Amino acid sequence: MTNGGIEQELNLRRKPSFARPAGWGHPSLRVQIWGLNALSTNPGFASKIAPWSIQDVDRLYPPSCGGALEDIVSLVPIGEPRQKITVASLRDRKLHHQPITCLTAYDYSSARLVDEAGVDIVLVGDSLAQTMLGYENTLSVTLEEMLHHTRAAHRGVKHALLVGDMPFGSYQADVNEAIRNAARFVKEAGAEVVKVEGGEKRADLIRRIIDAEIPVAGHIGLTPQSVNVMGGYKVQGKNLSGIEQLMRDAVALDRAGVACIYLEGIPREVAAMITAEVATPTIGIGAGPDCDGQVLVFHDILNLTFAPPAKFVRRYGDAAALITDAVQAFRADVDTRLYPSDAESYHLPKETRTALETVLERKRAMRR
């Protein structure tokens, strides 16, 4: 089949909204034609696609033309395509001893950056109460606020598993209300998993939510929504009775069928015991290196919090200093009239400027 025949076969049309992707001509990109076998009624069509090159696409869609190409071709880097992370793939990673990465993200921009960096799980945690909304603790954040931020994060995530944190008061009072609220995270906000704090005492509730086809992540140890009961943010499981309770909690969640278990603020040795005992992947935060995965707060690793970091926090960048420097530089440039420059300003077309000068000159002449 000739290239012209392929053109006819696909019924390719130029579309006025086409914008050629950045790096279109880069040698590390290849054009992949989508669904040719499905589109073609010619049994030999697929075998004759090879001659259809980037030059053919350039001929059909020259740089100056419009039209959307995304529904016909995709541009992907050479190498293995990234797979969508699912609840099943988390268990597969545990079985193959592959570490799981998780970071919090609370809006479109941060979620997109975290997702594109290759992190496995994006957690829209109720820690946004402090990092984004300035509350004293996580107890004040509302269901509507959590849904709002989960929706925003969902728009930035393509490959990571998106987990939404059910806030305090949204699941404790009534099982049916908890199921309705969990369903809102999935239906309205795009979450793929909801997170619920508590172990043994939450197992029946978690089973009911899972029975409603909603995956659940468990969370035991230092559970921030229990801060008033615990008397502060204290490491849990430091004595034998505490260790025994954590083991019971973990086993109960494992048997309930949770997608993963977050272990927060517990001794490394206890976290290692739990990780070895349960089939469910464990994600640690302040629980040592022996968990199946690790999670940190986005703002913590970038120094965007306004309090001393916890012992387990490692800072990987100083976004606070970067932002402060940039803001101060902007203010200084405005104060000294260095911003905006002429190059950063729009100008009238030559013809319009000439006509305007003529009009202004006439007005000046009339005033004389």
List active site positions: 264
Q: Which two tokens stand for residue 247?
A: 């083991």
Beta-bridged to residue 73, according to DSSP, are 33
Q: How far apart are CA 78 and CA 63, in angstroms?
A: 23
Question: What would you measure as the largest C-alpha separation in the chain, in angstroms?
Answer: 98
What's the rounded Cα separation, in Å, for the pair 112 and 156?
4
How many helical (H) and strand (E) elements, i.e. helices and strands, does the chain have? 15, 10
Distance CA 14, CA 63 (A): 12
CA atoms within 13 A on the CB side of 15: 12
DSSP assignment of 142-167: -HHHHHHHHHHHHHH-SSSEEEEEPP
Q: Is 185:191 a contact under the CB 8 Å cutoff?
A: yes
> Residue 35: how many CA atoms within 13 Å on its side-chain side?
8
Q: What sign does the CA torsion over 327, 329, 332, 338 have?
A: negative
Contact call for residues 188 and 198 (beta carbons, < 8 A): no
How many residues are given for the chain? 368
Q: Reduced to 3 DSSP states, what percent helix, strand and coil does the chain have, rounded to the nearest 5?
A: 45, 15, 45
